[in-house]
Amino acid sequence: MAGQVPKKQMAMVIEKSGGPVEYKEIDVQQPGPDEVLVNIKYSGVCHTDLHALNGDWPLPTKLPLVGGHEGAGVVVAKGNLVTDVEIGDHAGVKWINGSCLACDFCQQSDEPLCSKALLSGYTVDGTFQQYCIAKAAHVARLHKDIPLDGVAPVLCAGITVYKGLKESGAKPGQTVAIVGAGGGLGSLAQQYAKAMGLRVIAIDAGEEKRKMSLEQLGAYAYVDFSTSENVAKDVQAATEDGLGPHAVILVATAEKPFQQAAEYVRPRGTVVFIGLPAGAYVRAPVFESVVKMITIRASYVGNRKDTSEALDFYRRGLIKSPYKIIGMSELQKVYDLMHKGQIAGRYVLDTSK
């Protein structure tokens, strides 16, 4: 069942690990029986896409690879087993492109942990193309009143930080430090945290991110890690009683802040790893961790329910992803800025350019 679907399309393709990423014409794939074909209008660029390009992680990508996993668009074709998504529906292609739906983890809605999970823009082609395939069971359902450009960053960054905040166990009124607060995940984490009734300390570098955090995203304090002489002290001092934040959400792409968090989190507090810096390890002092009874945990994207909840926050106007739109063919420029840590918020690609 297909509407008007062209045979060829434009895409950003990596032939080998390390790049380059090239703008070229490729075939449009046909959806399998349980899949949909989504005409991607906009796709966010996540730092994960840069990790994939650079081969930063122990898991190899498919090659050649079309990256991207924050794609928002319109369903244009579907397989004959798909009954609950219609052609013309708006849908989001996210990191979890598909999963087996039958294993122990899928049974308990932990589909990111499925060993057979398909990963958009990593183990299967993703959203830096005009037509992208995903399993119908896993595409995000987007109400038609949601703008496709604005919602794109929610499809990875939003879902991931919303889930991470839930995993932190932080309760309304408590304080959470967002580390990497001015980046894509961080800028959404600040807003989700605020919407969830939490008080936010933003940690990142530079005046642009300071201004954005304090004036737009809802943080009440900002610690600049590039100028601070003692980040741990400054974060603790930013809490009312000086005892540190109840939770720390780590969305930075460097190892050092992962080493620091256990030092300044509040006794009984929780440190949540989300960022995935290449080759990073964490050491935490055993003595202080024990006598402070801290929890260190990690969080990985979100399941389908987290997805619909995170989207609902967006639809209700609680989240305004700070983003800039650029033509898809200019993806390399985005990677260059991202590599230098110079993106405040997110870049969203327009797949028509």
> What's the closest the beta carbon of residue 11 comes to Zn ion, in angstroms?
18
- Please, what is the angle between helix 157-168 and helix 304-315, to 10°? 110
When the beta carbons of 143 and 333 are compared against ligand 8ID, the nearer one is 333
Task: Tell me the residue number closest to ligand 8ID, measured at CB.
Answer: 183
| Min CB(4)–ligand 8ID separation in Å | 33
Nearer to Zn ion, 46 or 223 (CB): 46
Interface residue with ligand 8ID, options 251, 265, 272, 328 (CB under 6 A): 251
Q: What is the DSSP letter of 328?
A: G
Distance from chain centroid for Cα 336:
19
Q: Given candidates 96, 203, 248, 331, which one binds ligand 8ID under the rule CB under 6 A?
A: 203
68 binds, among Zn ion, ligand 8ID, none (CB under 5 to 8 A by kind): none
Tokens of 83: 């009954």
**Best CA proximity match to 320, nearest among 170, 129, 187, 207:** 187
Distance, in Å, from the CA atom of 109 to the CA atom of 212, rounded to the nearest integer, reads 35
- The interface with ligand 8ID within residues 262-281 (CB under 6 A) comprises 274-277
Segment 132 to 171, residues that bind Zn ion, using CB under 5 A: 156
From 156, 170, 217, 334, residue interacting with ligand 8ID (rule: CB under 6 A):
156
Contact partners, residue 237, CB within 8 Å, separation at least 6: none
The residue with tokens 């598909």 is: 98
- Please report the sign of the dihedral spanned by the C-alpha atoms of residue 206, residue 212, residue 213, residue 214: positive
Q: Whole-angstrom Cα distance, residue 282 to residue 259?
A: 6
Task: Report how far residue 269's alpha carbon sits from residue 249's, in angstroms, rounded to the nearest whole number.
Answer: 11
Among 39, 43, 191, 253, binds ligand 8ID (CB under 6 A): 253
Which residues are near ligand 8ID by CB under 6 A?
46-48, 51, 156, 160, 179-180, 182-186, 203-205, 225, 251-254, 256-257, 274-277, 299-301, 338, 341, 343
Which residues are near Zn ion by CB under 5 A?
46, 48, 99-100, 103, 106, 114, 156
